[in-house]
Amino acid sequence: MMVKEITIISGKGGCGKTTIAASFMALAKNLVIVDADVDAADVHLLMQPQIKSKEIFNGLNVAKKNDELCINCGKCYENCRYGAFDPDNTLHPEKCEGCAVCEMVCPVNAIQMVKRNAGEAYISDTRFGPMVHAKLHAGEEASGKLVALVRQNAKNVAKETGKDLIIIDGPPGIGCTVIASLTGVNLVLVVIEPSLSGIHDSMRAIKVARHFNIPVLVCINKYDINEENTKNILKFCDDEGIEVVGKIAYDDTATKAMMDEKTVVEYSDGPMSQAIKEIWQQIEKVLI
């Protein structure tokens, strides 16, 4: 069976990505849950996953210098493009991007690239099925690589357990983690908040999805905080041939459900819950 993947992004943070994605995860049948926001993951707060397996994620290697061997020739400083070496050849590992040029140019083998434990990846169980997630250690590089690992784990879990759907809660922005969370998926849902910032950033998110040739759907969250902007979004989507699968009104149910550590659709059957359910029905039609 073909496994379908959908990623939820928004460009700007705080537009309701995780609130909406977690509700989809509660509504969908036979799925694997994925949190791809590895440097600020929140889905687990609503899913209370029981961790079944854990693996260490090694990011890019990091330079390690043996000062006893170092002859202060300055080659590492001259060739490092990331400012990880001072002119006196002192190494700042936190600035190292793992390129290994210093190791190559060092004439006395005083520098070695060593493994860097950059995070952990988990496979867990939740009340809605298996969940795949991760935690990047504070301030680490290579978050895109960790997202790629998480997505590979999700595919493996789907295959092993016969799931036919993977729902991915994506990270904010348009950089490496976003790219890693959407390449090759069947569908991207862009959640837009009708503030000028929300619109600005979501336009960039739509462009990234299109850049990688992924079909895009849009839903508007908190549409009533600025109905004029909402109209503009609807017009833009119409002009661009992007389907708008629904609008959700501003509703403090989202916060209340979060305080109760539940998804919106579990917490209440009110208007927000209804709106999300209708959106999910629309998405299912497109996905199948």
Using CB under 8 A as the criterion, which residues of the chain lie in contact with other proteins when the complex forms? Answer: 11-15, 18, 37-40, 42, 45, 60-61, 79, 81-82, 94, 97-101, 104-105, 113, 136, 138-141, 143-144, 171-179, 194-198, 200-201, 204, 207-208, 211-212, 225-226, 229, 252, 255, 258-259, 261
Distance of closest approach, residue 176 Cβ to other proteins, in angstroms: 4
Q: How far is CA 50 from CA 26, 109, 260, in A?
A: 16, 45, 18
138: Cβ–Cβ under 8 A, 6 or more apart, which residues?
A: none
Distance of closest approach, residue 79 Cβ to other proteins, in angstroms: 7
The residue behind tokens 């504070």 is 138
Are 204 and 183 a contacting pair, CB within 8 Å?
A: no
Distance of closest approach, residue 29 Cβ to other proteins, in angstroms: 26
Considering the complex, state which of residue 66 and residue 197 has its C-beta at the smaller distance from other proteins. 197
- Give one word for 254, left, alpha or beta, with left for phi > 0 and alpha for psi -120 to 50: alpha
Helix (H) or strand (E) holding 187: strand 187-192
**Nearest alpha carbon to residue 238 among 220, 265, 211, 256:** 220
Distance of closest approach, residue 45 Cβ to other proteins, in angstroms: 5
Considering the complex, state which of residue 186 and residue 232 has its C-beta at the smaller distance from other proteins. 232
281: Cβ–Cβ under 8 A, 6 or more apart, which residues?
A: none
Q: Name the phi and psi angles at 31, rounded to 5.
A: -125, 165
- Where are the extended beta strands (E) located within 10-116? 31-35, 50-58, 62-65, 111-114
Distance of closest approach, residue 177 Cβ to other proteins, in angstroms: 7
Distance of closest approach, residue 183 Cβ to other proteins, in angstroms: 10
Q: Considering just the CA atoms, what is the radius of gyration of the chain in Å?
A: 22
**Nearest alpha carbon to residue 243 among 274, 220, 221:** 220
Amino acid present at 156: N
Considering the complex, state which of residue 4 and residue 24 has its C-beta at the smaller distance from other proteins. 24
Are 89 and 76 a contacting pair, CB within 8 Å?
A: yes
Distance of closest approach, residue 169 Cβ to other proteins, in angstroms: 12
Considering the complex, state which of residue 37 and residue 165 has its C-beta at the smaller distance from other proteins. 37
Please, how many CA atoms are within 13 Å of residue 91, restricted to the half-sphere of its CB? 21
Considering the complex, state which of residue 27 and residue 174 has its C-beta at the smaller distance from other proteins. 174
Considering the complex, state which of residue 123 and residue 147 has its C-beta at the smaller distance from other proteins. 147
Considering the complex, state which of residue 54 and residue 211 has its C-beta at the smaller distance from other proteins. 211
